[in-house]
Each structure stands twice: as structure tokens, then as C-alpha cells.
Amino acid sequence: MGMLQNKVAIITGASSGIGRAAALLFSAEGAAVVLNARGSEALESIAENIRTKGGRVRVVAGDASRPETHEQMVAEARASFGGLDIAFNNAATVGPIKPLADVAVSEWQETLAVTLTAAFLASRCQIPAMLERGSGAIIFTSSFVGTSVGLPGMAVYASAKAGLMGLVKGITADYGARGIRANALLPGGTDTAMAGDEAQKEWAAGLHAMKRIAQPEEIANAALFLASPMSSFVSGSALFADGGNSAVK
């Protein structure tokens, strides 16, 4: 029996990096998964990987900043697997890397749409489905950037990621008594496409007390904790999985 046996999970940003690692891990732990990203080809490849191992999976390609994408994912979870228990709202974008006064309004709006508004749209659809089951766990991928530190040129990203903490606390206040848990996962630098080239990864490693960046599977393990019964009394919290980054700033 896996830690997520008989559970149904939605994972956004699932085509690569942390989302892909979480999709494979949650499925291995027994969950039926509904996976989302913009590109269908990468999603289908992950889905085929899961199916060959006996897992249950559906794919919904689409833009996470659009409400209909989340409506379709929840509908798929209900129709294919009977409901929804877990949501890992992981989709995000780095946005512009430049001083704030140089940021265009359109760049600000796009970054918040993909990272923060998408999380609102997701929760708005997911919570009613979880209430039907009597409980649920919602996880947002935030960041140490904007919550414990600021980095040059990353004010827009920091604002979007910090906003997720307000969403976590609001959902906890509104729905904690009804069995819904909401938490934020705050990774440090992680070896994904967003981490940049080897020089950028080496620079990021130096920010961490552990002097390395994470592998996506390490962050997925932290997400599994927040999704599983092991964290049954954890809600409204920020879980730093950042290699000690926030501790040494």
C-alpha cells in the first residue's frame, strides 16, 4: 500500500522538473493523477511512463492561467477517478529578470497570471470537489525568493511567489474546519530547465548552506509529505525545502 493509495491528485506544471518528478512519485505511491501543462507531447510521454508501471493517469493540456483549464482538470478527475483529494498547483514562470522600474506592465501581468492567478483559479475549482469528499490537501509551489529573501532583478517573481502565502493562509482560514488543508512548498535552487546553465547553477548552489542545488525528486518528496496523511495536522504552513538557504541569510 502506497502513501496515496486510492487518492486522486491533480498536478499542474507536470511536464518537466518538479512537476514531472511529483507525477511519477505520486503515481508510484498509489494515486490516480490528472496531469497538466501547456504542451501535450511531454505530458503524454510521462503518462505513458506511468501506464507502463500500472498507474492510472489522465492528461489535460492547457494554459493554467485560464479558468477553463482547471474546470476541465477537475471534471476529468471526477469522471475518470470519482473525485479529487490532492492538488499540487506547481505551474509558474520566472518572468522578467530586470530591475522593477524597467518591468513592463504586460510582463508583470503575465507573471502574476501564470503563477498567482492560476493558483487562485485552480483552488476555486478544486475546493468544491474536495468538499464533496470531506477532505483535501492543496499544495502551492512558492519560493524562498519573496518570502525570506529578495534577489536583484526578481521583484516580479518574488511578488507572485509571496502572494501564494496569502492564498495558503486564506484557504486555511476559510476551509480548515471543513477538512481542507493548504500549504506552500518553498524549494531552493533545483536542477530544472528554469535553473539556467551550469554557471548559473553553480552560483545558485553557493546561496545554500548545503552548497548544492536540489534534484527535482527531492522537492517531490517534500510535496508528498504535504499531500499525504503524514501531514494531517499541517495547514497554513510554509515548508522550506531549500538546503538551508533561508537559514543563512
pTM (2 d.p.): 0.94
Instruction: Report the alpha-carbon distance of residue 150 to residue 19 in Å, rounded.
Output: 24
Query: What is the average pLDDT across 199-214?
Result: 90
> What gap in Å lies between CA 90 and CA 100, rounded to an integer?
24
Lowest mean pLDDT among 1-10, 144-153, 216-225: 144-153
List 68's β-bridge partners, or say none.
none
Q: Rounded to an integer, what distance in angstroms lies between the CA atom of residue 141 and that of residue 83?
A: 23
Strand order across the 238-241 sheet: 57-61, 32-37, 8-12, 86-89, 136-141, 180-187, 238-241
Each residue of 140-169: pLDDT tens digit? 999 988 988 888 999 999 999 999 999 999
Alpha helices by DSSP H, listed for the chain, are 17-28, 40-52, 67-81, 105-112, 118-133, 155-175, 198-205, 216-227
From 81, 144, 157, 240, active-site residue: 157
Predicted confidence (pLDDT) at residue 20 exceeds the cutoff of 90: yes
Active-site residue, 175 included: no
Task: Express each pLDDT in 33-87 by its tens digit.
Answer: 999 999 889 999 999 999 999 999 999 999 999 999 999 999 999 999 999 999 9
Name the nearest CA neighbour of 27 among 182, 234, 227. 227
Domains of the chain: 8-248 (3.40.50.720)
